[in-house]
Structure 1
Amino acid sequence: MMFLTLEDFKSQAKLDLVDRIIQNDHGILFQSELATITEMQSYLGIKYDVANVFNRIGTDRNALIVMYAVDILLYHIHSRLTPNQVPQIRMDRYDAAINWLKDAGSGKLVIDLPLKPVVESTTAKGNIIYSGEVKRNNRF
């Protein structure tokens, strides 16, 4: 695993349950983590420096990002086995994670993540405003 550790799962799922779901194949966990991080980056990447967010380790990581990453990953590994029988708690927590990511990415929430660096452009900036005069009636 890259960003998450097995310790991160202990607060939300029993490790033996996770092992049974992935059938002790940690490659599945690795691939699911990649998909989870990519999904999270698609929401947060507009505003935040996601490379910096997901390259952190240990206690340097944002606790909410870790929690929601575990929620999304658990949802994905559950749906891998039985898509029609994902536990309701997994669906609820997945929906909550996606809603939080949408709000965080749009700037509705203030979270402690590094912002995307501002890139100076060499092209002209600004808005072009165009309009016309009010139509005149020239009938005599």
Structure 2
Amino acid sequence: MFLTEDDYRVVTCPADLAIICQSSDEIRQMAERTAMEEVAGYVRTRYDIDTAYSKTDIQRNPLLVQLTVSIALWWLGQWLPGMMGGEMRQTLYDNAISRLKDIQKGNFTPDLPEYPDGGDPDSGWGGNPMRYGSMKKNGYDW
């Protein structure tokens, strides 16, 4: 996986993480996959997120790691009985989503790998969600 248990130490202690994960690595990994997909949904049109998530250890983008951790912790909190996620995790989640929206709009440009030729070849967006153009000139002067 892209994340390790050590990545969570910035925002929570190992004992709290074990409680939040209900002492299950499977639950933590499911939350991580969900968080990775949520992050990818925001930045996929601009950045090659699959390449960014394939990096390991020191090669990983630290901002991407922290955004993914914040969202994964929020998901873990949502799966607790009575959604005992906590106000702090909600704040971390809101901050992460706000930053992802800035990245999506182009207001913030992290050092993430871009697609070759500036865009996702499958989407046809060219890395920029705004398209522009005009119609071909016609010669119908009636």
Task: Give TM-score, length-normalised by structure 1.
Answer: 0.82
Runs of 4+ off more than 3 Å: 82-85
**CA apart distance, 1:129:** 2.5
Structure 1 equivalent of residue 86 of structure 2: 87
Task: Give TM-score, length-normalised by structure 2.
Answer: 0.80
Structure 1 equivalent of residue 115 of structure 2: 116
Q: Give the alignment's Cα RMSD to 1 decimal.
A: 2.1
**CA apart distance, 1:82:** 3.9
- AA aligned opposite 1:127: G
Structure 1 equivalent of residue 135 of structure 2: 129
Runs (5+) with no aligned partner, structure 2: 125-131
Conserved in 2, the CA contact under 8 Å of 1:47 and 1:106? Answer: no
| Larger Cα-atom Rg | 1
1:7-65 CA-to-partner distances (Å, cap 9, x unmatched) read 10111101111111222111001111110100000001010001111001111111111
Pair 1:82–1:131, CA change in 2 (3 A)? farther
Are 1:5 and 2:4 an aligned pair? yes
Structure 2 equivalent of residue 78 of structure 1: 77
Conserved in 2, the CA contact under 8 Å of 1:32 and 1:77? Answer: yes
Structure 2 equivalent of residue 20 of structure 1: 19
Percent sequence identity over aligned pairs = 27
Runs (5+) with no aligned partner, structure 1: 133-140
Are 1:38 and 2:44 an aligned pair? no
> 2-side partners of 1:73 and 1:33: how far apart?
5
